Amino acid sequence: MTMMKKTIIFGTLLTILFVFQSCTKDTSVKNDIQGLWDCNASQNFDSTKLADKLIGSWQWTKSSSELVTKKADKKVVVTFTSDRKFTVVENSAIITQGNWRLKIVDSGILGLSLDTTSQFLYGRILLCESQVVFNDSYRDGTDNFFVSTK
């Protein structure tokens, strides 16, 4: 086989691989959510335990909906304090602040009740180790993923 034929075959194979790779749906979000569901459920959070775990600062890493996963395109940090205050800072500027408490949002699962709305903090709270997700995709909303800044 000549060098030219080998190059053409190799190029064709790379093109096919690229096409298949770009057409593959991202399933990592579902795997992330399932893992977080399992981990969160295993911790048997009540409102006191979950509130204690939320206290601190969390940096936004990505958001996802049914069809689209988007990496964070700006630095957003959410801070929850023990006196039930929260602050959302975007690229060093405060964009939202107020008071928070936990409430049941879906079938016994806890979420936030805020006196000031935030686009990042809707839905059920799934917390595992150093990651928290505000899971709103069950209502066709967006899931927002955060990691602890500790």
pLDDT tens string 77-94: 999 999 999 999 999 999
Work out whether the CA dihedral 47, 52, 55, 56 comes out positive or negative. Answer: negative
Residue 126, in any domain of the structure: yes
Residue 3, in any domain of the structure: no
Residue 40, in any domain of the structure: yes
User: Hey, how many other C-beta atoms are within 10 angstroms of the C-beta on 133?
Assistant: 26
Total domains present in the chain: 1
Residue 24, in any domain of the structure: no
Domain region containing 65: 29-148
Question: Looking at residue 136, which CATH number applies to its domain?
Answer: 2.40.128.270
pLDDT at 114 over 70: yes
Please tell me which residue, 3 or 96, carries the higher pLDDT value: 96
Q: Is the pTM of this model over 0.85?
A: no
CA distance 100 to 103: 10
**pLDDT for res 107:** 85
At 49, list the tokens: 């335990």
Q: For a pLDDT cut of 70, what percent of the chain falls above it?
A: 80
Residue 16, in any domain of the structure: no
Residue 122, in any domain of the structure: yes
Let me know how long the chain is.
150
Residue 118, in any domain of the structure: yes
